[in-house]
Amino acid sequence: MAIPYRIVRTHAYSFRVPPRKPSAGRARRAAPRIRLSREDWVRAALLALADGGTAAVAIEPIASRLGATKGSFYWHFRDRRELIEAALEKWERSATDDIIAELDTVADPVERLDRGLAIAMELEEDEYPDVRLLPSAADPVVAPVAARVQAKRLAFLARTFREMGFPTAEARRRAMLANSLYIGWFHQRLVGQERATPRQRSDYRRAAVRLLTARDG
């Protein structure tokens, strides 16, 4: 008989959690121990990163959230640093590489910019670790990944603006502005502790595209 996992969805990610074990006082046979995969731990660590940066990635709290033991963690990882590295690798791939690959299928550069902002802003403020990782940007584990992610995003944006006909130097400036508008949106939402409505996201996105694609004169 298949073991009935519960699917827990927290923010933008989900992971499997085994059913609760009966208490020791019950005369019920204990359910067989469920072995969590490496991916289960990575997803849970990514949730922790989105919740509170690298400081929130602690083995015991994550094990408790997953209904697992520390032994399960050490089956898959040498230490906490390796878990953080794996979570950051997943963040880089899913939040940058995969999105850029998807957007590169959009031929029109203005539509590509608009769709990229729409994809990014679909995520609520506490679902995405980007802004929450800023205080950890100097961390020796986070720094090289954060630098790569920013470089990839700026290169993609600059290329998009060049395809709109802007000179190279101007395309780079607009790429930096676009990235700042994106990060600033999430930062302001976090500070205000307010959920954005679909209308607010749409209005901000349209205004950003108009500003970023405007021609002098």
Find tokens 């074990």 and name the residue. Answer: 21
pLDDT at 208: 96
In CATH terms, is domain 6-18+33-80 a member of 1.10.10.60?
yes
Domain assignments of the chain as residue spans, ordered by start:
6-18+33-80, 85-213
Place of tokens 């602690």: 58
Nearest to 112 by CA among 122, 123, 101: 101
Query: What is the distance between the alpha carbons of residues 49 and 18, in angstroms, rounded to a whole number?
Result: 22
Distance CA 45, CA 52 (A): 11
Written as tens digits, the pLDDT of the chain (217 aa) is 444 444 444 344 444 444 444 444 444 444 445 578 999 999 999 888 877 788 889 999 999 989 888 888 999 999 999 999 999 999 999 889 999 999 999 999 999 999 999 988 876 554 566 777 777 788 888 899 999 999 999 999 999 999 999 999 999 999 999 999 998 888 887 777 677 888 988 999 999 999 999 997 5
Count, in order, helices (H) and strands (E) of the chain.
9, 2
Cα angle, residue 98 at apex, residues 92 and 100 outer, rounded to 5°? 100
CA-to-CA dists, residue 181 to 74, 118, 208, 210, angstroms: 40, 13, 7, 12
DSSP strand E in the chain: where? 6-10, 13-17
* CATH hierarchy code of domain 85-213: 1.10.357.10
Whether this prediction's pTM lies above 0.85 is answered by no
On whether the CB atoms of residues 46 and 56 are closer than 8 A, the answer is no
pLDDT for the residue 31: 41
